[in-house]
Amino acid sequence: MSAPVEVVLCADSAGQLFNCAVFDPHSGSEFLSYSGGNTSSRSLTVLNGEYILGAQLGKNFINVWEIQRKDQLQQKIVCPGIVTCLCASPDGLCVLAGIAEAIYLWEMSTGNLLAILSRHYQDVSCICFTDDGSHFVSGGKDNLALIWNLSSVVQLDSSRTPEPRHILSRHSLPITDIHCGLMGPQARVATASLDQTVKVWEISSGEMLLSVLFNVGIMSVTFDPCEYFLFCGGSDGNIFQVSLCSTSINRDKTFQMDSDGNEVFKGHRNLVTCLSVSMDGTLLLSGSNDETVRMWDVQSK
């Protein structure tokens, strides 16, 4: 068995050259590309390392590609409505899709619909599993982020309506992105919002640990693997690096560049829609509406 290789998977919403493609993060060379349609934001996911799933922009189906197939034959999964966000569980057993205000949960081996969760009041904008697949977090245009226990959602008693474990209601404008850290049910989760804040929460208690205020709306958020830093993509194209190791005990902060590790990555000319950090924490990857994907050296910016 060959050693695992870290790659970049990205989608082009215009769909002119490809729908999505796999790149080498060190050389920038293209390994594979998958054509047919175009994928909407927050709806590209990998299923069990074998399939790529991408929700078609503005249409009610999901495109499916087998990663290793050379002929690139495409399959389509028809859905009850337009998919606004999509996420596969880490073990590949199930897939979550946001369709209007509801979250649909499917078992992939059988195709069975396991649950429809209707606790958001407006469209679901983003969804994310914890690294062990025990919980997932959904964010919506209703300003709410909901923490769900997967085992309580997948239950045999059909008379009971599944309820979220915690309701995170401290944002004042729509949620734009969610990122779950490591440690499963003990993880921390970051939520970004158009209200110009990023908030960090504890999944087990639902308690807010930190709120950082910026001068622009935040469109994307991620941790580095060690969770020393929080990276936040702004609507102005800037990426803000926030130190999580500050000695300050104040939970509400305003972003300021300082010697504690708070920095700004400047280069994008439009809103930053997605962020990811390499497994060794040295590289930051960003995608933007300026039609570029950029690779940053975290140390030198």
Spatial separation of the C-alpha atoms in residues 185 and 202, rounded to whole Å:
9
Q: What does the pLDDT look like over 28-73, one tens digit per residue?
A: 899 899 988 899 889 999 999 899 999 999 999 999 999 887 667 6
Q: Is 153 helix (H, G, I), strand (E, B) or coil?
A: helix
For residues 176-186, average pLDDT: 96
Under the banding of pLDDT at 50, 70 and 90, the label for residue 13 is confident
How many Cβ atoms from other residues are within 10 Å of residue 266's Cβ? 10
pLDDT digits (tens, 9 = 90+) for 204-250: 999 999 999 999 999 999 999 999 999 999 999 999 999 998 767 68
Q: What is the pLDDT of residue 70?
A: 66
Look over the chain and give the mean of its residue pLDDT values, rounded to a whole number: 92
- Do 123 and 100 contact (CB within 8 A), yes or no? yes
Q: CA-to-CA distance for 59 and 39, rounded, in angstroms?
A: 10
Tokens standing for 75? 């399959």
Measure the CA–CA gap between 301 and 296, rounded to whole angstroms: 6
pLDDT in tens, 76-105: 899 999 999 999 999 999 999 999 999 999
Closest by CA position to 241, among listed 224, 253, 226: 224
Query: What radius of gyration do the chain's Cα atoms show?
Result: 19
Rounded CA separation 32/52 (Å): 12
What pLDDT does residue 156 have?
62
Please check whether residue 153 is in contact with residue 131, taking contact to mean a CB–CB distance below 8 angstroms: no
pLDDT of 269-288, one tens digit each? 999 999 999 999 999 999 99
pTM of the model: 0.93
Going along the chain from its start, the domains and CATH numbers come out as 79-213 (2.130.10.10), 225-300 (no CATH)
Tokens representing 36 are 């047919």
- How much is the pLDDT for 259? 64
pLDDT at 89: 96
